[in-house]
Each structure stands twice: as structure tokens, then as C-alpha cells.
């Protein structure tokens, strides 16, 4: 008969083995691991590297993946590691989650936060892009039919949205993202569309997002976008009146903010670019010209009474009121 004391010893011994067990590939692939010191959770990846985004001073050298993760947890802004087993082995610390590349023997781990927004947590949320005047409204487990202009593999859902914004001049207004399709999670197949239906179709595992932006949504409106009220003209340029060389901003919104902070600036013209484009600050407001690649705006001063302000300055505008 086995004594109760011996059974207790066996149980404690088994728990100790679990606690001391090292991470292994492929057994721990896609499992989560909590770093004991920082209590940060990591997702384990086996057989893949994510080249690029290396932090200066990387690699460190560690004896295990756990030690590599611990090093990442104490190194800002580390969000991902690639580790080649050795005694010690190189621990490549990275500040972003890049596209995966198959690499036999590689062990990797990343913070879930590096995966960006996901469904269902982001359902109904308007996700940001570099331009502060634009975001994409997320629709989980659904899709909208439309004309596809491009299909690519992206590392995350956010990358898919950024791909659409980069292709705005090519007509992109909607994305459909299929996580895990064509690559490992959190990546997937990203379809860019130039049109999308008004009706929403249920599609389990499919994430959609449509573009919402002050241009063209608020074209022709008088709105206060930062400190001053502006008249917004999308697809329009205002030739002339430039205050020197352009500054580079993420969009028409930041361009107007820059004008607000610049003495004598009363108008702007932002030429499309991604992630930034040239913002021309202007001291006069000249007649508008149609240009799909340019968004413009001019300041509506507090004394504005509806009199045309074209080819005038900030001073003559107010003198007419």
C-alpha cells in the first residue's frame, strides 16, 4: 500500500515539473505564456521569423525562449522576439509585428497588443489611420459586396485598413479582412474595394470596415476643426498665395491645425500623400480649381458676413465686414 505522504510527494513533484518545463516547439505553438517577472502575456509562434523592426542593440543572448521573453519585457519598446535556440542563442527584439517568414527551428513570441484591433472587441469602433480627419468603421462577422480593386496579405487587420488608406486615390473606400486566410494569425487576406453595398451581409469570421472622413463627408461645410472655423473644399486646389515651401502633414485636418498655429495663414491646400503629403499654407485665398488629389480650406473669420473673400487677405476680409 502506498502511503498518503508518498502520494503528496508525487503530486508536488508533478507540479514542480510543470512549473519548470521549458517552452518547446512545436508543442507550444499558438499557446500563451506569462512572463513571471512582468506578468506580461505573450503568444508563442514556432517555425516563423518576422524580419525587420529590430530594436537598436538587438540581439541579446539568452539560453532559453523564456529568458528572451524576459529580456523583451524589460526593454522598451519591445513587442516581439525571434529566438534561435543555443547556449546562448540570439534573441532578436523587435518594436513591431512584421510579416511572417517560414524559418525552420525559429522560436518566436509577441505581445497580443502588437496584433492591433481585432473583432469582436472593435465592432462599431472607428479605427484611426495617420490622418486625424479619417477613420474606418469596423463591422465584425459581416461583409459588404462591391468592386474589388486589390487583394493582398497583411499582417494585421490594422495593416489592411492602412493599405486601403494608402490606395484612396485608386478608389479604396472599404476593406474586407479574412483572418488566418493565406497566412498565420493575426494576419489574413485583405480585399480592398472601391464600392460597397448599403446592405450588410452576415459572414462569420469576416471583418469589414468602411472609410469615414471629413473629405468628402463634410465637403462644402463650415466647421471648427481645431481653433478656427474653416470652409472645407474637397477635390479642390487654391493656386497661389503660398507662404513659402510646404510642410508635410498626414491630411487636410492636420494641415488646418498647422495653419491655425501659423501667423498670417488664412487658407490651406493639402496634396494627397501617404502617410504624409505636402500642405501649402496660404496668406491669400485665390479662386478654386478642381483637382481630385487636393483638399483645400479657408478660414472663416469671426466678422465674416458672406462677402466673397477670394484674392483678399486676412486684413481686407475683416475690413469689409
Pairing of strands 148-154, 89-94: unpaired
H-helix or E-strand spanning residue 60: strand 60-62
pLDDT tens sequence across 39-96: 999 999 999 999 999 999 999 999 999 999 999 999 999 999 999 999 999 999 999 9
Task: Please give the full DSSP string across 76-140, using - where no structure is assigned.
Answer: TT--EEEE---TTEEEEEESS----EEEEEEEEEE-GGGG-S-TTTTTT-EEE-SSTTEEEEEEE
| CB neighbours of residue 289 within 10 Å | 12
Q: Are 81 and 10 within 8 A, CB to CB?
A: no
One digit per residue, the tens of pLDDT, for the chain of length 321 reads: 445 443 333 343 333 333 346 999 999 999 999 999 999 999 999 999 999 999 999 999 999 999 999 999 999 999 999 999 999 999 999 999 999 999 999 999 999 999 999 999 999 999 999 999 999 999 999 999 999 999 999 999 999 999 999 999 999 999 999 999 999 999 999 999 999 999 999 999 999 999 999 999 999 999 998 889 999 999 999 999 999 999 999 999 999 999 999 999 999 999 999 999 999 999 999 999 999 999 999 999 886 555 444 444 544 444 444
Q: Which three cell numbers stand for residue 11?
A: 503530486
- How many whole angstroms separate alpha carbon 68 and alpha carbon 163? 32
SS (H, E, C) the chain: CCCHHHHHHHHHHHHHHHHHCCCCCCCCCCCEEECCCCCCEEEEEEEEECCCCECCCCCEEECCHHHHHHHHHCCCCCCEEEECCCCCEEEEEECCCCCCEEEEEEEEEECHHHHCCCCCCCCCCEEECCCCCEEEEEEEEEECCCCEEEEEEECCHHHHHHHHHHCHHHCCCEEEEEECCCCCCCCEEEEEECCCCCCCEEEEEEEEEEEEEHHHHCCCCEEECCCCEEEEEEEEEECCCECCCCEEECCHHHHHHHHHCCCCCCEEEEECCCCCEEEEEECCCCCEEEEEEEEEEEECCCCCCCCCCCCCCHHHHHHCC
Domains of the chain: 24-115 (3.50.4.10), 126-213 (3.50.4.10), 218-319 (3.50.4.10)
Could you report the per-residue pLDDT of 161-190, keeping only the tens digit for each? Answer: 999 999 999 999 999 999 999 999 999 999
Read off the pTM: 0.84
Q: Cβ(207)–Cβ(158) under 8 Å?
A: no
Residue carrying the nine cell digits 485665390: 286
The strand pairing partners of 233, in sequence order, are 296
Amino acid at each position: 500500500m502506498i502511503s498518503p505522504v508518498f502520494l503528496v510527494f508525487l503530486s508536488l513533484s508533478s507540479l514542480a515539473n510543470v512549473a519548470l518545463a521549458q517552452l518547446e516547439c512545436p508543442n507550444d505553438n499558438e499557446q500563451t505564456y506569462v512572463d513571471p517577472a512582468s506578468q506580461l502575456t505573450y503568444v508563442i509562434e514556432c517555425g516563423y521569423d518576422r524580419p525587420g523592426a529590430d530594436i537598436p542593440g538587438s540581439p541579446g543572448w539568452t539560453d532559453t525562449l523564456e529568458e528572451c521573453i524576459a529580456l523583451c519585457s524589460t526593454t522598451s519598446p519591445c513587442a516581439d522576439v525571434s529566438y534561435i535556440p543555443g547556449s546562448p542563442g540570439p534573441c532578436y527584439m523587435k518594436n513591431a509585428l512584421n510579416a511572417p517568414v517560414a524559418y525552420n527551428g525559429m522560436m518566436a513570441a509577441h505581445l497580443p497588443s502588437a496584433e492591433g484591433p481585432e473583432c469582436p472587441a472593435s465592432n462599431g469602433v472607428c479605427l484611426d489611420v495617420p490622418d486625424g480627419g479619417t477613420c474606418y468603421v469596423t463591422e465584425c462577422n459581416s461583409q459588404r459586396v462591391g468592386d474589388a480593386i486589390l487583394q493582398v496579405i497583411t499582417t494585421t487587420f490594422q495593416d489592411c485598413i492602412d493599405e486601403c488608406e494608402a490606395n484612396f486615390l485608386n478608389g479604396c473606400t472599404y476593406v474586407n479582412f479574412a483572418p488566418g486566410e493565406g497566412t498565420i494569425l493575426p494576419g489574413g487576406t485583405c480585399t480592398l474595394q472601391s464600392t460597397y453595398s448599403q446592405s450588410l451581409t452576415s459572414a462569420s469570421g469576416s471583418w469589414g470596415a468602411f472609410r469615414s472622413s471629413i473629405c468628402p463627408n463634410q465637403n462644402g461645410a463650415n466647421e471648427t476643426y481645431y481653433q478656427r472655423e474653416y470652409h472645407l473644399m474637397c477635390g479642390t486646389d487654391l493656386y497661389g498665395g503660398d507662404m513659402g515651401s510646404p510642410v508635410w502633414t498626414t491630411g487636410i485636418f492636420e494641415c488646418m491645425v498647422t495653419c491655425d498655429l501659423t501667423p498670417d495663414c488664412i487658407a490651406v491646400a493639402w496634396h494627397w500623400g501617404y502617410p504624409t503629403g505636402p500642405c501649402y499654407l496660404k496668406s491669400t485665398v485665390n479662386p478654386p480649381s478642381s483637382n481630385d488629389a487636393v483638399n483645400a480650406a479657408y478660414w472663416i473669420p469671426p466678422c465674416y458676413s458672406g462677402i466673397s473673400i477670394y484674392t483678399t487677405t486676412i486684413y481686407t476680409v475683416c475690413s469689409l465686414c
